[in-house]
Amino acid sequence: MDSRSAAHVLSQIGALLEVKGEHKFKARAYAGAARALVALDTDDLAPLLKSGEIAGTSGIGPATLAVVRELIETGESSYLAKLQEGMPSGFIDLMRVPGLGAAKVQLIHRELGVETVADLEAAAQDGRLATLPRFGAKTAERILKGIAVMRRHAHLTRFPEAAIAAHVILASVRKHPQVKSAEITGSIRRHNEVVADIDIAMECTGDPAGIAASFGRVPGVASATPGEESGTIALLLVDGTRLDLHCAREDEYPVALWRSTGSAAHVDAVIEHAKATGFRISGNRLERENGKAVALTGEDGFFTALGLQSIPPEMREGMGEVEAAAQNSLPELVTYADLRGILHCHSTWSDGTATIAEMADAARERGWSYIGISDHSEAAFYAGGIKRDRIGAQHDEIDALNEGYSDFRILKGIEADILADGRVDYDAETLARFDYVIGSIHSRFSMDGDEMTRRVLAALDDPHLTILAHPTGRLLLTREPYALDVEAVIARATERGVAVELNADPHRLDLDWRYCRMAREAGTMVEIGPDAHSTASLDNVHFGIGLARKAWLGAPAILNTRTAEGVTAFARERRAR
């Protein structure tokens, strides 16, 4: 029994436990154990069971270990079979519909006999769903939209999950005796916010086609399809992961690495550039017009041979980067090291899980010189928003903590709700007490485009607003952006001196990188905010950096590459306009 197949069984058990309404911690335990098994990355778990390594693996408890032992000994799980008894096979898919949880799935099954997504769609369309308690016509409409979103994005995975899976697979690929080196390529290397499949390029010491085919025969592979190009193969793993392998000889690896990174539009643009400059790209070879291959040293050598600056992977989207590289005018992109601090963070004063002191310590450990605490405002009662009469106490706590620092500072921020009429929560006198103000929309997402745009533009006119957070409200793969004239918002933000946020929570990554590039071209300042509700989620900024690089952003365009004084000066300048 290989680790991926066993992990898939544990994941199914966890999903079924959730559907049955078991305690969440029990379902999460199986999901965690599945991740732990995948990380073991082995074709045969039996030796690890015998040695005790599985039992000693973090995330594997007695119950999950018993399932793994049975899988190794029999190839089946009696516990999974028991959970599946009487359980319609479509229930797990129902749980994936945005807005549905275990209780609602059980209710619609009990009252309407719904067992599949198709059944649910029919019940929403013919009015039956709206008759159920706590549903109604609007809920039925939202569920129909959720079904459409789920179907549209069924083949996609958010970047973090895809990247983690890719690195586990990469470690396995590198163990092959005829693989000299290998790298993750495709949309993960380009740091796309969502990923359809995992691409890996391999530098091989043997026959590329034979090596590619050998990966199709390893345990955990459900199907293998040779690609159109020799040395490529598309694999479907048992847990649904899609994997494209690109094998190349050493002399062809630089081009294979570049080509498999993509995007298609970028590849086409480079091919056209090559033709215009006396070269051609044939498969994984760069050739002169006479057919003679050009010897290359690495991927950078490929770009150099074509008279181009080396184009960072994140920028390879066919959006002018080849032309800029030919003119030696690519921008210097922001890096993680450029960040001086972060501003969008929550503490136990609202819905965070760590104290202000704990958040500050975690920020200092990451090498930053400041952290901004921006708990929710009073209107966000559902998130423990801070009432006006508690603001002074929070600020006193921050002042006391700051007295103990000589090289670090905690800034006093607030994430204030943008109300339906465009007012920013709290009165002007209260907002003036903060070092900076983040404005966010957390309600009334269904406004039409004109209404929502007027709402946001009105908020941007408030002189206290420093940053517009997660401007379009999207939740990747589950909630579409609300209707909004983003171009008008960027124009107003530029005019008023308000920064727009690239919210780095991997479920959001909002503002979209394409609009962030538009903001760059308009001269609008961008803030990369982790939207951290814990010390661990401070590291969300890594995802934001990747998207900022896709948007061609350099350090001067990012608000929190400035010092703490630079940030507060930006806020003061905004208020003085």
Read off the pLDDT of residues 216-239 as tens digits, 9 standing for 90 and up: 998 889 999 998 888 999 999 988
pTM for the whole thing?
A: 0.86
The shares of helix, strand and coil residues in the chain, as percent rounded to the nearest 5, are 50, 15, 35
pLDDT in the model for residue 207: 93
368-378: burial string, b at 16+ Cβ within 10 Å, e else: bebbbbbbbbb
Give domain status of residue 569, yes or no.
Answer: yes
> Are 104 and 22 found together in one domain?
no
Residue 89 CB burial class (10 angstroms; 0-12, 13-18, ≥19): exposed
Residue 365 CB burial class (10 angstroms; 0-12, 13-18, ≥19): exposed
Which of 345, 383, 349, 385 lies closest to 361, judged by CA? 345
Give domain status of residue 283, yes or no.
Answer: yes
Q: Which two structure tokens, joined as six digits, stand for 240?
A: 């649904």
Which of 1, 79, 70 lies closest to 37, judged by CA? 1
Q: Are 294 and 305 in contact (CB under 8 A)?
A: yes
Give domain status of residue 76, yes or no.
Answer: yes
CA distance 493 to 467: 9
> Are 143 and 187 found together in one domain?
no
pLDDT in the model for residue 193: 97
pLDDT in the model for residue 531: 96
Domain boundary among 326, 361, 381: 326
pLDDT in tens, 311-339: 999 999 999 999 999 999 999 999 999 99
Give domain status of residue 395, yes or no.
Answer: yes
Structural domain boundaries enclosing 270: 157-326
**Is 21 a residue whose pLDDT tops 80?**
no
Q: Name the DSSP letter for residue 536.
A: G
453 alpha-carbon distance from chain centroid: 26
CA distance 312 to 552: 10
If you average pLDDT over residues 104-109, what whole number do you get? 86
**What confidence tier does 571 reach under pLDDT thresholds 50, 70, 90?**
very high
Q: Which two structure tokens, joined as six digits, stand for 256?
A: 């294979």
Please name every residue paired with 416 in a beta bridge, in sequence order, or none if there are none: 439
Looking at the chain, the number of H-run helices and the number of E-run strands are 24, 16
pLDDT in the model for residue 104: 84
Give domain status of residue 403, yes or no.
Answer: yes
Residue 425 CB burial class (10 angstroms; 0-12, 13-18, ≥19): buried
pLDDT in tens, 237-256: 988 899 999 999 999 999 99
> Are 62 and 96 found together in one domain?
no
Domain CATH for 565: 3.20.20.140
Give domain status of residue 519, yes or no.
Answer: yes
> Are 147 and 170 found together in one domain?
no
Residue type, 547: L
Lowest mean pLDDT among 90-99, 103-112, 470-479: 90-99
Tell me which residue has tokens 């190839």. 75
Domain CATH for 122: 1.10.150.20
> Are 173 and 257 found together in one domain?
yes
pLDDT in tens, 335-384: 999 999 999 999 999 999 999 999 999 999 999 999 999 999 999 988 89
Which of 454, 420, 41 lies closest to 220, judged by CA? 41
> Are 375 and 494 found together in one domain?
yes
Give domain status of residue 436, yes or no.
Answer: yes
Give domain status of residue 331, yes or no.
Answer: no
> Are 178 and 242 found together in one domain?
yes
> Are 265 and 406 found together in one domain?
no
pLDDT in the model for residue 479: 87
Residue 75 CB burial class (10 angstroms; 0-12, 13-18, ≥19): exposed
Domain CATH for 294: 3.30.460.10
**What confidence tier does 290 reach under pLDDT thresholds 50, 70, 90?**
confident
Pairing of strands 232-237, 242-249: antiparallel
Domain boundary among 64, 84, 104: 84
> Are 232 and 119 found together in one domain?
no
Domain boundary among 137, 152, 167: 152
Percent pLDDT > 70 in the chain is: 100
**Is 101 a residue whose pLDDT tops 80?**
no
If you average pLDDT over residues 422-449, what whole number do you get? 95
Q: Which two structure tokens, joined as six digits, stand for 248?
A: 């190349």
> Are 252 and 103 found together in one domain?
no
N-terminal to C-terminal alpha carbon distance within the chain: 67
> Are 137 and 280 found together in one domain?
no
**Is 27 a residue whose pLDDT tops 90?**
no
Domain CATH for 45: 1.10.150.110
> Are 417 and 537 found together in one domain?
yes
Strand-by-strand arrangement of the 232-237 sheet: 179-185, 198-204, 242-249, 232-237, 221-226
**What's the structural domain count of the chain?**
4
